[in-house]
Amino acid sequence: MLKRLVDVREGEGRGLLLSFAFCFAVMCGYAILRPLRDEMAVVGSTRSISLALMFTWTFGAMLVAVPVYSAMVARFPRHRAIPLVYAFFLANLLAFFALMKLGVAPAAVARVFFVWVSVYNLFVVSIFWSFMADLFAGEQGKRLFGFIAAGGTTGMIVGPGLTALLARPLGPVNLLLVSAGFLLLALGLVLELTRWAHGQLQARPARGPDPEAPVGGTVFAGFRLLVRSPLLLAMGTQTLLYAATSTFLYFQQQKLVAAAAADATQRLELFAHMDMAVQGLTLLLQTGVTGRLLQRAGLAVALAVVPVVTGLGFLGLATAHSLVLLTVFRSLRSATHYAFERPSREVLFTAVDREQKYKAKSFIDTALYRGSDLAGGWLYTGLGALGLGLSGVALAAIPLAAAWLGTSLYLARRHASEAAGHGSPDLALVPPPAAEAGPASRAL
């Protein structure tokens, strides 16, 4: 049955299913929080505390969080560092539940919660994919990452569904406990997947550095590694342009939704239903198209789809900015991002060393991403202050999409060139071609 959906080979099945479930738990828990975060953006925004300012605070929080995380992975083995990060976020979530339940400073807590979720979602997802890039080689990633990502998409369907179903009977605050339950499940799956990976390592010892040792390096290595590698620098540019256009789209969504729905619960339900539409299309693409597209058409096509959709979508919004059009654009953009671009991007990270996987990737996925949010938010605000309406801002986003397309095509060519030239240093842990039918995973 599984082989009908994905090209899974002998010895990969258990690890693939555990990875699928892990991705489901992480994304389902976050999907419950995302509509709450969007509602907190409405509650916490005032004339003096704007959405752009909350994006600024988020970037500041990232500048603190990234070095702390880098210090952890430098000092602790990854099988300890990753569970510690998830346990820390679980404790945070329970603390927010207590504060909101007691009604402590609602506006201030709403702003802090918005910032926290914006940090949380990038860290837990980035760490997950760092783990995956360390477990599977590039060839495996092309076959399996689409299916693993489908676990996250399933979670992003179930999560909003639970939010829409439980928002009225439980109330928004009690949904935090539901999210905490999924994060606890993710923590258990981290430990189980680590045990499975350790068994794979014992069955086929690694040739090279111990994959269970701490990553090492300095606290600020992520930035240093980024600026020294043309491949990583291009990945960072791709992330910057994706995040900036996402921020433009998010700000437009907030305006259109606020105008369409005045009631908090109604807004929460609307955000949840929008997420369900996005994730339904994504799951269809991931389970039926992604793996075949990556294997047959290659990374260039998979990476190019989203910037093309983005450019066309903003062109459409420039001519007719309705909530329906925005929902269709957002659905197509998000679906193609999660189905095509995200798995392709994670394949790129299978061709870099372990320090780059955990530190440079974390820096790109968190600090650089939120820095792009910050720049995009203030740019959007500045364009509005200059008198540009929704149409003018949409037109301003089109050159960003064009630059993103050029960067994506360069990335695909660069990755192919490096893979053909000298391969990945981590591929020493992958069985030789003659043993392709056997276990082909690297341990955490």
Highest mean pLDDT among 4-8, 65-69, 200-204: 65-69
Q: What is the mean pLDDT of residues 103-124?
A: 84
Q: How far is it, in rounded angstroms, from Cα 105 to Cα 109?
A: 6
Task: Tell me the pLDDT of the chain averaged across its residues.
Answer: 77
Q: Which residue has the tokens 């071609």?
A: 433
- Stronger pLDDT, 83 or 62, i.e. the higher one: 83
Q: H-type helices in 217-338, by residue range? A: 221-228, 230-260, 264-285, 291-296, 299-319, 323-336
Write down the pLDDT at residue 427: 34
Write down the pLDDT at residue 147: 84
pLDDT exceeds 90 at position 21: yes
Write down the pLDDT at residue 31: 87
By percentage, how much of the chain surpasses pLDDT 90?
15
Span 244-293, pLDDT tens digits: 898 888 887 777 776 666 666 666 666 667 666 776 777 777 766 766 67
Cβ atoms within 10 Å of 230's Cβ, excluding its own: 12
In order of their start, the domains of the chain are 12-425 (1.20.1250.20)
Span 375-393, pLDDT tens digits: 877 788 788 888 787 788 8
Span 355-373, pLDDT tens digits: 787 778 878 877 788 777 7
The three-state secondary structure class of 441 is: strand
Q: What is the mean pLDDT of residues 235-244?
A: 89
Q: How far is it, in rounded angstroms, from Cα 384 to Cα 43?
A: 22
Write down the pLDDT at residue 264: 63
Highest mean pLDDT among 107-111, 320-324, 439-443: 107-111
What tokens does 153 get? 């998409």
Least confidently predicted of 27-31, 70-74, 380-384: 70-74
What tokens does 174 get? 């009690």
The conformation of residue 339, written as its DSSP 8-state character, comes to I
What tokens does 396 get? 């301003």
Q: What is the mean pLDDT of residues 306-323?
A: 88
What tokens does 73 get? 């992975």
- Stronger pLDDT, 266 or 146, i.e. the higher one: 146
Write down the pLDDT at residue 407: 94
Q: How far is it, in rounded angstroms, from Cα 58 to Cα 118?
A: 7
Q: What is the mean pLDDT of residues 35-63?
A: 66
Write down the pLDDT at residue 50: 61
Write down the pLDDT at residue 48: 40
Q: Are 310 and 70 in contact (CB under 8 A)?
A: no
Write down the pLDDT at residue 443: 33
Write down the pLDDT at residue 68: 80
Q: What is the dihedral of CA 373, 324, 343, 65, to 10 degrees?
A: 30
Q: Are 266 and 397 in contact (CB under 8 A)?
A: no
Q: Sorting pLDDT into bands at 50, 70 and 90, what band is 138?
A: low
Which neighbouring-strand residues pair with 441?
Answer: 136
